[in-house]
Amino acid sequence: MALLPIYTAPDPLLKTISKPVEEVNDDIRKLVDDMFETMYDAPGIGLAAIQVGVQKRVLVVDIVGKGRDDEAPQPLALINPEITWVSDDDAVYEEGCLSVPEHYADVARPAEIEVNYLDLSGARKSLSADGLLSTCIQHEIDHLEGILFLDHLSGLKRNMILRKLLKQKKIAS
């Protein structure tokens, strides 16, 4: 396993659309392993392949996380995920993103979803999710379309955060 570099906004790569995985092979399973390691190390509860510079429709989530005594980790890898149903009611969570470090904002999304995906053996699966898992999966699927949680905010708030991120990058380089 290896830690992968995380791309941060406003990197143009994060605005691109990821490509479907044609075959779930060892390369994809290696990518998923590395993504889990990178996500747990960050630490975060979700990561899309585009955030580590790989333009493929692959994402990993674990809303429990690693290293907690009270609950076992719940790693979940979704390949070529597609939302097939959303509830009428919304839920609001304060979201953050490993590609938007140190900024958080409330985002409203459908409270419940159903999603189809391929698992690590290439088998077609479907999943119903609510609560934080629903929000997390929707946030990650957005990444595959080049959408950040910032894009759900008002233009004013989004530009304020992007300007701060640019300033941080300039100081760092």
For the annotated catalytic residues, the residue numbers are 140
What count of other Cβ atoms lies within 10 Å of the Cβ of residue 122? 12
Q: 24 vs 49, which CB is nearer to Zn ion? A: 49
Smallest separation (angstroms) from Zn ion to the CB of 152: 12
The encoded tokens of residue 67 equal: 């290293």
Contact 3, 37 (CB under 8 A): yes
Q: 27 vs 166, which CB is nearer to Zn ion? A: 166
> CA 83, CA 89: separation in Å to the nearest integer?
16
Structure-token match 């510079």, residue found:
53
Smallest separation (angstroms) from Zn ion to the CB of 97: 3
Smallest separation (angstroms) from Zn ion to the CB of 139: 5
> CA 122, CA 30: separation in Å to the nearest integer?
14
> CA 79, CA 8: separation in Å to the nearest integer?
22
Q: 97 vs 153, which CB is nearer to Zn ion? A: 97
Q: 27 vs 41, which CB is nearer to Zn ion? A: 41
Contact residues for Zn ion, defined by CB under 5 A = 97
Nearest residue (beta carbon) to Zn ion: 97
Smallest separation (angstroms) from Zn ion to the CB of 170: 22
Contact 106, 139 (CB under 8 A): no
Q: Which strand (E) or helix (H) includes residue 34?
A: helix 26-41
Determine the length of the chain: 173
